[in-house]
Amino acid sequence: MSKLKLFFGGSFDPIHNGHILSAQQLVEATQAADITLLPNALSPLKQQQHCSTEHRRQLLELALADYPELLLDWREVERGGRSYTCETLQELAAQYPQQHIGFVMGLDSFNQLDHWRDWQKLCDYAHLLVIARPGYQPALSQMLKAWLADKQSHQVADLHQLARGKVYFCQLQPMPISSTQLRKQLATHSLEPELSSQLPGAVLEYIIEHKLYGA
Ligand code: ATP
Query: DSSP characters for the chain?
Result: ---EEEEEEE--TT--HHHHHHHHHHHHHHT-SEEEEEE-SB-TTSS--SS-HHHHHHHHHHHHHT-TTEEE--HHHHH-SB--HHHHHHHHHHH-TTSEEEEEEEHHHHHTGGGSTTGGGHHHH-EEEEE--TT------HHHHHHHHTTEES-THHHHHSSS--EEEE--------HHHHHHHHHTT--SSHHHHHS-HHHHHHHHHTTGGG-
What is the residue range of 24's domain? 4-175
**Ligand 1 first shell, C-beta below 6 A:** 10-13, 18-19, 22, 105-106, 108-109, 131, 133, 175, 177-180
Residues shown for the chain: 215
Q: Find the 131 Cα to ligand 1 centroid distance in Å.
A: 10
- How many separate domains does the chain show? 1
Q: Is residue 48 part of a domain?
A: yes
How far from the centroid of its chain's Cα atoms is residue 122's Cα? 15
| Rounded-to-integer distance, Cα 165 and Cα 103, Å | 11
Distance CA 38, CA 6 (A): 10
Cβ(36)–Cβ(10) under 8 Å?
no
- Note whether residue 212 is domain-resident: no
The pTM of the full predicted model, rounded to 2 decimals, is: 0.96
State the distance from the centre of ligand 1 to the C-alpha of 12, rounded, in angstroms. 7
Q: Candidates 72, 179, 183, 197: which one to mutate for ligand 1, based on the most atoms within 8 Å of Cβ?
A: 179
Ligand 1 centroid–CA 20 distance in Å is 11
Whether 201 is in a domain gets the answer no
Q: Is residue 148 part of a domain?
A: yes
83 is a domain residue = yes
Task: Note down pLDDT in tens along the chain; length 215 residues.
Answer: 899 999 999 999 999 999 999 999 999 999 999 999 999 998 888 778 899 999 999 999 999 999 999 999 999 999 999 999 999 999 999 999 999 999 999 999 999 999 999 999 999 999 999 999 989 999 999 999 999 999 999 999 999 999 999 999 998 988 999 999 999 999 987 766 788 899 999 999 999 999 999 88
Task: Tell how far the Cα of 178 is from the centroid of ligand 1, in angstroms.
Answer: 6
Ligand 1: atom nearest CA of 132 is: 29
The CATH number of whichever domain residue 44 belongs to comes to 3.40.50.620
Q: Does residue 185 belong to any structural domain of this protein?
A: no
Torsion of CA 137, 141, 144, 145, to 10 degrees: 70
pLDDT at residue 192 in the model: 65
Does some domain include residue 183? no
Judge whether 41 lies within some domain.
yes
For ligand 1, pick from 19, 60, 108, 177 the residue to mutate: most ligand atoms within 8 Å of CB. Answer: 19
State the closest ligand 1 atom to the C-alpha of 106, by its place in the atom list counted from 1: 20
